[in-house]
Structure formats: structure tokens, C-alpha cells
Chain A
Amino acid sequence: MHRELIQLDINGERRELAVPPQKVLLDVLREDLGLTGSKRGCDDSSCGACAVLADGVPILACVAIASCYQETRIITVEGLAVAGEPTPIQTAYGEAGGSQCGFCTPGFMIAIHALLQHNPNPSDEEIRETLSSNLCRCTGYMQIYESVRLAMRRMEARSAQPAAVR
């Protein structure tokens, strides 16, 4: 099978690998790089469980041809924590019940992280609109919203008193 050499920037590491030209990013992450945090939940890019950040913007890795992302900084769910320190949404999620089975959680982590980076104080309606790109079958979404609001409160407190917790 024909393969081509590609270079990817994944979670701040430069990775070089030979893959078939049409291979999607999700399969490269899961099969070639062992980054199995991003999930495959559907056949038709409708569930959002595979979301990763491409230059800070969520994309669906299941329909992204890997070779097209060589000039892009890719962050997967495994790369969200900074120096091993979980992000506010990662800690809030566990406390407010955002995860049940957890299979959709990586996709939600990416979507919420991007939302809060872009807009640290979204309205309930903005949260709801943004997260409509991700499916969760367990929670009924209420505790996901609760987790986002908890993370927002923590982020606000931290930015108000930069020295305190950091």
C-alpha cells in the first residue's frame, strides 16, 4: 500500500510518520500514535467524540485527512492539561457530574476548552448552542452545563487573584 511521509505537531511534539495518503487524523492518533483519548462514536461525523483542536479551533478528526494538518498545531484531549495540571473544566467535570460513561467526554473537553478560551464568560444560551455539536447519551446535558459554569467561576476567581492558587 502506498504511504507518504507526513509531519504532525501533536500536543507540542513533532511527530513524523508514514501513512496512506487518505488516512484520517483520528486513525493516525489512535492507531499510529497510541493517543486513544479521541473516540469514534459514529460513522458520519455526527457525534463529536473525536474532536481535537487545530490551531485552537475544534475539528472532527474522523473526517480530517491527516496529511492536510501538517502546518497545524493539534491538541488532543491528552494534551489539554498544562504540565500535568488539569484544566478548570477537567476538574469541574468530575465534581459536577459532567461525565457518566465518559465516552463523549474527550470531545466535550475540547469543545468546552475552545469555548472558554474564546469567551471566558459565555451565556447559558451560548453554552447550549456551542455544545450542540457534541452528543451525550448519558447526562441529559444539565450537569455538563453545571460543570461549565463551575469552571467559569473558578477561572474568574483565578484571574482576579493571580497569585493565590497558581
Chain B
Amino acid sequence: MTDSPAKVSGLGRYADDISVPGMLVGKILHSPVPHARIKKIDSSKAEGLPEVKAVATGRDAQRPYGILPIGHDENALATDKVRYIGDNVAAVAATTEEAAERALELIEVEYEPLTAWFDPLEAMKAEEDWIHEGRPHNIEKEYHHEFGNLEEGFSQAAFVQEVRFYAAEVNHAAMEPHSTLAIWQPDARLTVYSSTQVPYYLHRTISDVLEMPMSEVRVIKPMVGGGFGGKSEVIPLEIIAPILAKKAKRPVKITYTREEVFYAHRGRPITLVDLKVGLTREGKISAVAARVVQDGGAYCGYGPVTVLYSGALLGAIYDIHNLKFDGYRVLTNKPACGAMRGHGTVNVRFAFESMLDMLAAAAALDPAEVRRRNLLQAPCVTVNGLRVTSYGLPECIERVVERSGWLEKKGKLPHGRGIGIACSHYVSGAANPIIRSNMPHTTVNMKIDRNAGVTIFTGASEIGQGSDTMQVQIAAEVLGVRPERIKLVAADTDLTPVDLGSYSSRVTFMAGNACLEAAKNMRAQIFEAVAKKFGCIPDELESRDDAVFYRYKPAQRIAFDEAVRCAIDFHGTLVARGTYAPPDESRGGQHKGAGVGPSPSYSYAAQTAEVSVDPETGEVTIHRVVAAHDCGKALNPVTVDGQVIGSVYMGLGQAMQEEMLWHEGRLMNPSLLEYRIPTTLETPQIDSIIVESEDPEGPFGAKEAGEGSLAAAIPAVANAISDAVGVRITSLPLTPEKILEAIREKQKQDREKNAATRSEKRGAR
């Protein structure tokens, strides 16, 4: 990886590692109550402290914002109400952290309590004290989709199951806590270093809220210590630090504590999935109806997108013609949920893949075979308008069946040991941008100077997923030079062109394609000059191993440096540009909410998990997960393996042990010690298998690799538990308590059944 030396040496700089002279420490006062009107804030005592250089409240930035144009319902500091424990009330900038904390204690706030809503189903029934005035009954958004003919579909089914699934709330828990440094420049411009996945959206929002032209704000993304969606919208500290810097006329840095990270949240919501699926006698899915309720927390955030993904991505994995979806995003007095790896699809995929196993059992079919019988015939457009261009799912299934020893194991392992299979998929970026426009989703610029060093200027945000390396590799491949020759300047809004950010797995497909185009445009200029020198046409040239040569006589060649100098003699410094916009055909249907789900391409995944369950304690040991992922083309196999394994790991965390525990709006486990992401000891062997379906529109055939494998991990384990001990757990996480209770319930039912059979036999005698 191009950035490894910076990481292993400790010399790379993340936001909190950057300090500048005169810098102040910013601290935020958070609400201790879940829902209340603010009657009064008195900060005079705090302002009286000599170390305090600025105090800010909601009065200092009254323009609301939000990641979606339809959801501008947040203020970085509360203007009238607080809506969750942890909501942001006031902030101070002081010369020391101790002084800033002392100042917070001196701010007096008077609250008038309102009814607080913690349960989404209760919140939907509320007649008063709605969390946002414009959102009656606390429903942020609801969507109702129906494709095909449900009634007819269910009438064709020989087996129908209807089950409620539940998934607890989980947090990204990226290792780097959020941090923002805002520098008020002498020329009254603002520079912001921030731990963000979306520098461009941050740039827009700061400009909007602080009412400064975008040209006077510069956002720089330093190294980012993981995101997983938690840094993919504007987080309050990213607005508060600039407000304080502007007021203090000095640089201000705010870094969240881990507890603040949990309360800033934007993670995966508590989700209720009422799922009904019909299967024909032949094992074909004949109809699917899903009702999804998401507990979104106190602000909109990405909410409508999250709930739409949970419906849209019922499609584009299996061949489904009759599909109904009812989705509700509900507001409650808890921290806002948002995008988290596998955005919107994960909890519904847990439900769906669990359900497929239940139906397979009813139909006496092998679970792998049921999945085979419902494959898409790609290329195709699904009933809900998603265009599938490449489809490696069949190969993924075959590869995990083979590698895991499925045929020898499924249903054949001793009681207490089991194996499960599940599939999943994900988008390679959204075909429709959050803010509708005709602008390309990404632009990459490239420059070569007389020293023949190549510089890529890209807005794409490296957050650990390999974005920088991927672009360097693409440019090196096209220009035929060593990667060491290439420098990359990334995600600095003064220097790099707009890219929409690192979310929804869009970077390889979109920034990769833009980089590919820029490199080809650059190569064309070099070839044009060399062709004149050689007396041929540019089409007859090739570039490889730091040299440009005549294709039909490779000995006729010049070194890349010299080729560049030839071109510079024509053009001056060489510059090139590439852009990417998804094709119109990939942008989806016309129904309300059709904008979410369409992607230029989808990744596919299949996984098996092998587990042991202790029938006395309900404790699960996962022995091995085999994960196959169709990434189109692995531009960097080490990175693809790392993304797939990392996705499975995060899925296993959600499956087995992660859960945000709430008590009346207060988080009971806001630390890594209590929230418990898996350590090495809880992480099983995970084997990654790369499947390459070569997408026709991806750069060199590549598509998504960083999220799609997460969702399959959870149902693969749930299905394995069912295979091991015959109980079906429909609630996440899959804790020993739930498993033990289900085992005991099953034993009770088995005893009753046996007793009934015995008494029947006696009766018959």
C-alpha cells in the first residue's frame, strides 16, 4: 500500500495529530435530558474565565443542516430544543483542556422537559410532543412499494413463512475518534482539517451554516482512522470547531472522547423486519413482502436512504418478480442513526437469508440448492428497476460449497455442531447523487512536469480502504510506469477536484474510472508527441516498464522521461482530466424513492460458517468462515482480501456480541470495554475467496469490495446455529441467553410432543 510507511512508522498525521501555534481546545456541553425545550442558557460565568477565549451556543449558527436536502433538521448547537441525551447545547474554546472542562460546568442551562420517545412503535403512536414539529407521529419518512402481483405470487407458493426479525443497534467503532481542527486564517478564510469520509459535503455544509462562500473555506482530509459510515455525514464537532475558531479568531481543535463518539453515533438502527416469503414446490421464491421499521434516533441524517436501501436491495440478488415493501423511518429521543457498512441492507439480509433456510427446511431442500434455484439471469433489470451488469453469485456459492466441505457437513455433523450458508450483495456507489445535479460524481486531475513525476489530484478519500493505492495502480498501469513515480494529492478542497466521498463503496468504481480516463488522456498527449518523433500514429505505440515503444518493433523505444520531455516541448506542463458519471440506464425507475438502490454495478458474496453450540450454556464457537466475494476484478488482491475479511469480521461482531444498550435514552455501554468489538480471541479463522466476474463498466472490470460481504456473515452464523442445535434465533445479537432459552423451549415442546404421541398410542391400544 502506498501509505504503509506513514502508518507503520507512526509518522502519518491523523486530524488529532495536527497542532498549530495558538491553538485552543474546544469542548462541548451535552444535554443531560432526552427531550426538552431550552428556556435559558447563561454562559456569563464561563466567559469570565481568563483561559476561555470563546463560548458558542445555538445563536451563533442558526441555519439548520443535514446530509440530505430533504432533511435539514439539525443545528450543531441546539437552538430551541434538545432531542437526545448527548445533544449539543453549548461549546467553549480555552487555552487548556482543564479550563475548557471547568467552563462547561459553569454554563447554566434551564430545561423544560417534554415527553420523550424511546420505542419506535410507541413513538409512531404519539399524539403530542413530537420530536420535530414537521414530522407528525414522529415518522421521518415512510415508503410503500409494490412490484408484480403479490396475491398471485403467494397463491403459487407451496410454503409460506411469516416471521418478525429484530436487530439491535450497533456502532461503527472506528478506532480513531472524530477530530476537527479549524484554523481561522489572517485573511479571514477558514481551513478545516477533519476526520471525514466526505470532505466535499463538509465543505458545502460549513459554507452554508457559517454563511461563507465555499471559496473561502478549505477542507483538508488528513489520514482517517476508519469510517465505516460514521464519518460519512457532517458530525456536530465539524461545525462547532469552525464556529469557535471564527469567534475566538484563533485555531480550535475538538477531539471526541470515545463516549462522545458513541453518542454522535450515526450507526445501524434498531430494525424490526416483518418478513413474509413464499416458495413454490420447485423451490422458487414466488413472492416477498417486507415491512421494515427503523428506530432512527432524533435527527433525519441519512435515514430515508437507509430505509429505502432496506427495501430496494431485496432486489438484485435473487430472481424475484412479486415484491412488496413498506418502510418506516421513525424518530426517537436517542442519537441519530445513519449509514453503516452495508447501509440499510444488513438487517434485512439477516432476515431474508434466515427465512430462506426456514423455507428450504419446509421444502426439504438443501439451503445451497434453494439459492441456486433463485439466481438471476444477468445481465438484466430487476422488477424494482435495478440494472445488473455482472453477476458472480453462482460462482461464489460454488466456491464456498467446495471449500467448506458443505456436502459432507450440512445436516451430517454431530448434534451441537453445524454449518450454515448465506449470500449478500451491495452497490458499487449510488447511481444518483444525494444532491441532484448533472455534475460528474467525481473528477480526477493529473499533472506531469519536466521531471517526469506524475501527480494525481483526486478528491477521493482514503480512509483505510485502499483508495490512494488503487488510483496509483490504475495510473501506473495505463502510463506504463512504476508506481513509485506517482504522487497522489488527495481530498483537499483547495487543490483537488470534487469527489462525492468514500461511502456506498463508490470509490473504486467511480474515482477509479475517472482516474483511468485521466491517465488515458495523459497517455494520449505523450503518444501524440512520441508518434511524431517516431513517424507513426499514436495507436501504434505502447507504454510499459517506464518506456514508450513502437508496438511492432519494441526495440524502437524511448524512456518515459524522454517521452514526457517530447510532449512537454509541445504542450508545456502536461495536464489531463478524467470524470465519471453513472450511465442513465443505471439510474433506476420512476416510483417515489426509486433514486436509492440503483448502482452502476453490484458486488456479490456467499459465505459458510461452521459453529459449535454448547447445549448446556448456549455458547457459540465459530470455527471457520469461508467467504467468497465477486469484486469484478481484484485490482489489488491483498486489499480485496482485507476488505472481505474485515467485512466478515464486522458482521460477526454484530451477529454475536455487539449491541448498544439503552435505558431511557441513556447509553449503558458507551466505551470499547463495555461495547466489546471482537478481539483476536473472539475472531475465528476467516478465509477469503476472490471471484472475478469482470464488470463491463468497472475500471479493468472492478467493482465493490468493501461492504458487500458483511451482511452474509450474520445469517450464515444464524443458519449454522440452527443446523447445530435445531433452534432458529430471529433476534440479533445471537447471545447465549437467547440460544439457551430457545433450546429449552424446544426441549419442552419435544417432551410435550413425545408425551402426546405416547398418550395417543395408549389411546389407540
Residues of A within 8 A of B (CB): 1, 30-31, 34-44, 46-47, 49, 76-78, 80-81, 86, 89-91, 93-106, 109, 128-129, 131-132, 135-143
Other A-B pairs beyond A37-B9, A101-B224, A137-B226, 17, CB < 8 Å? A1-B98, A39-B14, A41-B177, A46-B672, A77-B8, A89-B8, A91-B8, A94-B1, A97-B1, A97-B639, A100-B646, A101-B226, A103-B225, A103-B226, A135-B175, A135-B679, A140-B648
CA distance A86 to B4 in the complex (A): 12
> Which of B298-306, B558-566, B680-688 faces chain A?
B680-688
Q: Which of B13, B225, B464 has most chain A Cβ within 10 Å?
A: B225
Interface hits, B1-48 → A, CB 8 Å: 1, 3-14, 16-17, 19
- Residues of chain B with a CB closer than 8 A to A43's CB: 257-259, 671
Q: Given contacts A137-B650, A143-B642, are A78 and B10 in contact (CB under 8 A)?
A: yes
Q: In the complex, which of the residues B14, B255, B259, B677 contacts A137, with contact meaning CB atoms closer than 8 Å?
A: B677
CA distance A102 to B3 in the complex (A): 9
A100 touches B10 (CB 8 A): no
Residues of B within 8 A of A (CB): 1, 3-14, 16-17, 19, 96, 98, 172-177, 223-228, 255, 257-259, 463-466, 638-639, 641-642, 645-646, 648-650, 671-673, 677, 679-681, 683, 685-686, 688
A97 touches B638 (CB 8 A): yes
Q: Given contacts A41-B177, A77-B10, A109-B10, are A139 and B4 in contact (CB under 8 A)?
A: no
B175 touches A37 (CB 8 A): no
Q: Given contacts A41-B672, A101-B174, A132-B679, are A90 and B8 in contact (CB under 8 A)?
A: yes
CA distance A106 to B642 in the complex (A): 19
- Residues of chain A with a CB closer than 8 A to B466's CB: 100
B8 touches A143 (CB 8 A): no
Q: Given contacts A37-B9, A101-B224, are A44 and B672 in contact (CB under 8 A)?
A: yes
Whole-angstrom distance between the Cβ of A94 and the nearest chain B Cβ: 3
Whole-angstrom distance between the Cβ of B19 and the nearest chain A Cβ: 8
A135 touches B672 (CB 8 A): yes
CA distance A44 to B645 in the complex (A): 27
CA distance A99 to B466 in the complex (A): 10
CA distance A144 to B465 in the complex (A): 15
CA distance A81 to B9 in the complex (A): 8
- Residues of chain B with a CB closer than 8 A to A80's CB: 9
A37 touches B645 (CB 8 A): no
Q: Given contacts A41-B175, A44-B673, are A102 and B12 in contact (CB under 8 A)?
A: yes
Q: Given contacts A36-B10, A46-B671, A99-B4, are A139 and B638 in contact (CB under 8 A)?
A: no
Q: In the complex, which of the residues B3, B12, B175, B650 contacts A104, with contact meaning CB atoms closer than 8 Å?
A: B175
B10 touches A93 (CB 8 A): no
Q: Is the interface of A mostly helix, strand, loop or mixed?
A: loop
B1 touches A42 (CB 8 A): no
Q: Given contacts A41-B175, A41-B672, are A105 and B639 in contact (CB under 8 A)?
A: no
A94 touches B8 (CB 8 A): yes
B225 touches A86 (CB 8 A): no
CA distance A96 to B255 in the complex (A): 31
CA distance A46 to B228 in the complex (A): 20
Whole-angstrom distance between the Cβ of A30 and the nearest chain B Cβ: 8
Whole-angstrom distance between the Cβ of B635 and the nearest chain A Cβ: 14
Q: In the complex, which of the residues A37, A38, A95, A132 contacts B11, with contact meaning CB atoms closer than 8 Å?
A: A37
CA distance A133 to B226 in the complex (A): 19
- Residues of chain B with a CB closer than 8 A to A95's CB: 4, 638
Whole-angstrom distance between the Cβ of B305 and the nearest chain A Cβ: 23
CA distance A135 to B226 in the complex (A): 13
A142 touches B645 (CB 8 A): yes
A41 touches B258 (CB 8 A): yes
Whole-angstrom distance between the Cβ of A110 and the nearest chain B Cβ: 10
- Residues of chain B with a CB closer than 8 A to A109's CB: 8, 10
A42 touches B680 (CB 8 A): no
Whole-angstrom distance between the Cβ of B5 and the nearest chain A Cβ: 7
Q: Given contacts A100-B226, A135-B677, are A44 and B258 in contact (CB under 8 A)?
A: yes
A39 touches B176 (CB 8 A): yes
CA distance A81 to B10 in the complex (A): 11
Q: Given contacts A46-B671, A93-B4, are A101 and B686 in contact (CB under 8 A)?
A: no
Whole-angstrom distance between the Cβ of B70 and the nearest chain A Cβ: 31
Look across to chain A and name the residue whose beta carbon is closest to the beta carbon of B676: A46
A-B contact pairs, 25 of them (CB 8 A): A30-B17, A36-B10, A37-B11, A38-B10, A39-B14, A40-B16, A40-B177, A42-B672, A43-B671, A44-B672, A46-B673, A47-B672, A49-B175, A90-B9, A93-B8, A100-B642, A106-B10, A132-B680, A136-B175, A137-B174, A138-B226, A138-B464, A138-B642, A142-B641, A142-B686
A105 touches B7 (CB 8 A): yes
CA distance A93 to B1 in the complex (A): 10
Q: In the complex, which of the residues A44, A78, A104, A140 contacts B683, with contact meaning CB atoms closer than 8 Å?
A: A140
CA distance A105 to B96 in the complex (A): 29
- Residues of chain B with a CB closer than 8 A to A42's CB: 258, 671-673
Q: In the complex, which of the residues B255, B257, B463, B681 contacts A101, with contact meaning CB atoms closer than 8 Å?
A: B463
Whole-angstrom distance between the Cβ of A84 and the nearest chain B Cβ: 10
Q: Given contacts A41-B258, A78-B9, A135-B175, are A141 and B649 in contact (CB under 8 A)?
A: yes
- Residues of chain B with a CB closer than 8 A to A94's CB: 1, 4-5, 7-8
- Residues of chain A with a CB closer than 8 A to B641's CB: 97, 142-143
CA distance A142 to B646 in the complex (A): 9
7 shortest interchain CB distances as A-B pairs: A37-B10, A101-B464, A94-B4, A103-B225, A140-B649, A102-B7, A77-B10
Q: Which of B3, B172, B641 has most chain A Cβ within 10 Å?
A: B641
Look across to chain A and name the residue whose beta carbon is closest to the beta carbon of B463: A101
Q: Given contacts A42-B258, A135-B672, are A140 and B686 in contact (CB under 8 A)?
A: yes
- Residues of chain A with a CB closer than 8 A to B227's CB: 101
Whole-angstrom distance between the Cβ of B445 and the nearest chain A Cβ: 26
